[in-house]
A and B are shown apart, each in its own frame.
Chain A
Amino acid sequence: MATVSAAVRRDWLVGYAMVAPVVLGALAFVVLPLGMVVWYSLHEWNVLANTFTFVGAENYGRMAADDGLADALLASLWFSIGLVVLNIVLALLLAVLLNQRLPGTTTFRTFFFSPVVVSLVAWTIVWSFLLQADGGINGFLAVLGVDGPNWLRHETTAMIAVIIVQVFKNVGLNMILFLAALQGVPEELQEAARLDGAGAWRRFRSITLPLISPTILLVSIITIVGSLEVFAQIDVLTGGGPGNSTTVLVYYLYQQAFRFNEFGYASAIAVLLFVIVLVLTLLQWQSRKRWVFHEV
């Protein structure tokens, strides 16, 4: 490499100085704690007795025999499938509808986006009242002559309720992302296809979908990662119940650490969660070459 002039070096210095706060912050508050979680996961840590004993991979071995963890993984799987499918389909549907040039679309956009900016806990608490046995939803159903279930007290309806509360909370964000992508689809392509006799569904499938596929990739990554991080909704709505039906992985982790004081084991579960998210994201990233338009 040729010698670097003093001016270029000074540029580098300024550049490093500019990024230093972010890099140092990330090191101190992201990388270091992450490393410490891995370190803690190799220990048995009893907070009350104030003991911290190195146990090697024992916490990881314990996971294999932990039925509660298996149940939590299964609950997370159901939650993620329900949330991702419902959220993406609904967001895309809303985006397509709101992409029409019709009166009132701005109002509807605002309407669907507003839950995104509402405080998560406030949103969930309001829903917890609506979902009570004698709450607003069953009151509405009763007007229609339907006897609604006690939503949060049955295993199936509790999971469905938690998924729907979360979908309504965040569908607006995905909708806006899809809407931006749809507005980037060139009108002349649509017009050319129309002249060639393609119907609405054919145009959507062969022109719109491929052109917005990068956004679908982005939205599915965000939504899957988000679905694995769900906590507050579970805590407020069901507390993991009934039974353990809505005890998803992060809630299980929270119970182990903050209720049972098993900080070492909880750290091992945090590492497992990290690996799951990493693998899922890498899989999606690898698969993009097969279906994302600009990558094919």
Chain B
Amino acid sequence: MSAQHTPRRTAVTAAAFGAVLALTACGGGTDAPVGEPDAPAEPVDLRMTVWTADEAQLELFQSIADDYVAENPELVSGVTFETIPFEDYTTSLTTQLAGGNAPDLAWIFESNAPEFVASGALADLRPLLESTEGYALDDIVPSALGLWEDSEGLYAYPFSTSPFAMFVNTDQIAAADQTDPAELVASGGWTFDAARDIAAATAEDSGKQGLVVRDFDYQTWENLATVWSGWAAAPWSEDGTQCTFTEPEMVEAMTWIHDAAFEDGAMPGPGTTADFFAGDAAMTITQISRASALDGSFDWDVVPLPAGPAGQQNVVGQAGIGVFAAGEHPDVAADFLAHFTNPENAEQLAGYFPPPRASLLNAETLAGANPSLSAEQLQAVVVEGVEDAVTKPAHKNFAQLSETVRAELDALWTEDADVEAVLTDTCSAITPLLEE
């Protein structure tokens, strides 16, 4: 080998990144509202990126799409739903955008909502949805739209407003002679401290894990909002400009989480994987839409999030469907979205995704499609869970904040961590990003 080969080797690496970039067409973005589509010369193929791989859900989407294609053969020849794995969803989506290969429609996480809305990447849907006959835009709960609005514009339809709840493996809890959380809910004793004690005792008895905040894994820290909201804590101020990690309620909440993991053994420590749905843990905090992962191999229950010192606080995760302004046919895509989420189809989607429409937010509608949940569970966890709920943290600079907070909080996840010092460091690190 000669030295001339080595720069070439590097060139290959650079080219790996460069090749993605090289394919890009850099047009000008627009957030102009979309309107009624003119029939294109040829019917177009639409593509929507989603993070679900659930076959039943994809089948439902496809059947709604097939109806649209049948009704509008001059506009659309087909709609493809492209699954991108949950973990890398936003990264893969932005890579598609960088490559000049924007999907026509996409699911968007709530944490990225402010970033996507503020950037102008999405088309304004409000005029079209307002003028679409029978759409009933005013049926959508206003609080569900907050994240997706910017002044007058509406940039996505919040198809899922999914409350977080506590799933409980009642077999394991009964075997450990612990009180059933449902009884505690009834008696008003369902607190985070009670949950921690039950989790620790059950884990000790079963040799498995106690309480798992699903998908947190000591990386995705924003999922801890389901816990710290009980302390009325938040990572930053409502306007997103001030760090509030050092506020007393956050310090107290983080100390509770730290001790639950490192002192009581109530939560699995870092580097330990435990899947509640596979029977590895006594309890898990996750979204109600995960109920479909339960296969009946153990007895379970679902109860609202426990109360913290500041009372019980419902937390919802949201997901929106937006239309990319840079897509090839934003008008057609928006028209399809208006069909996909009209009252009739929203009722079908409500089977999997708690809907933002007031007319559908009742136990009867939800029960039809959630056979695994009782009417009481649906009422307590879903219908009431959406009321006065807070959303998980979101910010227009979320990508950088997420990574920076993750790196700082790593220092917290050791046995002898100084919680207050770590949170002070976290604030120092993110303050410049909040002020950007």
Q: Which residues of A contact B (CB under 8 A)?
A: 26, 29-34, 36-37, 40, 45-52, 131-135, 150-154, 218, 221-222, 225, 229, 239-244, 250, 253, 255, 257-261, 263, 266-267, 270-271, 273-274, 277-278, 281-282, 284-285
Pick the contact of A258: B8, B95, B116 (CB < 8 A): B95
The contact of A150 among B17, B28, B269, by CB within 8 Å, is B269
Give the interface SS of chain B, mostly helix, strand, loop or mixed. Answer: helix
Tell me, rounded to whole Å, the shortest Cβ–Cβ distance linking B239 to chain A.
21
Q: Is B27 an interface residue (CB 8 A)?
A: yes
Asked if B186 is an interface residue, CB under 8 A from chain A, the answer is no
Contact yes or no, B10 A266, CB < 8 A: no
Could you say which interface size class chain B belongs to? Answer: 35 or more
**Contact of A243 with B95 at beta-carbon distance under 8 Å, contacts A33-B18, A37-B21, A221-B6 already known:** no
CB < 8 Å: which of B9, B18, B94 contacts A37?
B18
- 7 of the cross-chain contacts (CB-CB < 8 Å) are A30-B12, A151-B271, A152-B271, A153-B410, A225-B6, A225-B10, A260-B400
Q: Which of B10, B271, B273 contacts A153, CB < 8 Å?
A: B271
- Residues of B near A31 (CB, < 8 A) are 11
Which residues of chain B from 232 to 265 have a CB within 8 Å of any chain A CB? Answer: none
Residues of B within 8 A of A221 (CB): 1, 3, 6
Q: Which residues of B contact A132 (CB under 8 A)?
A: 271-273
Q: Are B407 and A244 in contact (CB under 8 A)?
A: yes
**What is the minimal beta-carbon distance from B416 to any residue of chain A, in angstroms?**
12
Instruction: Tell me the smallest distance from the CB of A48 to a CB of chain B, in Å.
Output: 4
Provide the main secondary structure of the chain A interface.
helix
CA distance A130 to B375 in the complex (A): 44
B7 touches A50 (CB 8 A): no
Instruction: Determine whether B399 belongs to the interface, using a CB cutoff of 8 Å to chain A.
Output: yes
What's the minimum C-beta distance from B325 to chain A, rounded to whole angstroms? 8
- Residues in A with CB closer than 8 Å to B219 are 239, 241
New contact pairs (11) apart from A36-B22, A47-B98, A153-B410, CB-CB < 8 Å: A30-B15, A33-B18, A49-B120, A52-B26, A132-B272, A243-B411, A257-B98, A259-B400, A259-B403, A263-B21, A270-B14
**B115 contacts chain A at the CB level, 8 A cutoff:** yes
Chain A residues with Cβ under 8 A from B413's Cβ? 153, 242
Q: Does B292 contact A (CB under 8 A)?
A: no
Q: Which of A50, A131, A218 counts the most B-chain CB atoms under 10 A from its CB?
A: A50
Contact A241 B115 (CB under 8 A): no
Q: Does B140 contact A (CB under 8 A)?
A: no
Min CB distance B354 to A, Å, is 28
B119 within 8 A of A: yes
A133-B269, A133-B271, A221-B1 known; A34+B14 contact, CB < 8 A: yes
B215 at the interface (CB under 8 A from A): no
Q: How far is the CB of B403 from chain A (nearest CB, A)?
A: 6
Within 8 Å by CB of A48, from B17, B28, B94, B407, lies: B94
A221-B3, A244-B407, A260-B399 as given contacts; A50 in contact with B17, CB under 8 Å? no
**Would you call B326 an interface residue if the criterion is a C-beta within 8 Å of the partner chain's C-beta atoms?**
yes
Q: Is B423 an interface residue (CB 8 A)?
A: no
The answer to whether the Cβ of B270 comes within 8 Å of any Cβ in the partner chain is yes
Which one of B8, B18, B120, B413 has the greatest number of beta carbons of chain A within 10 Å?
Answer: B18
B91: chain A residues at CB < 8 Å are 258-259
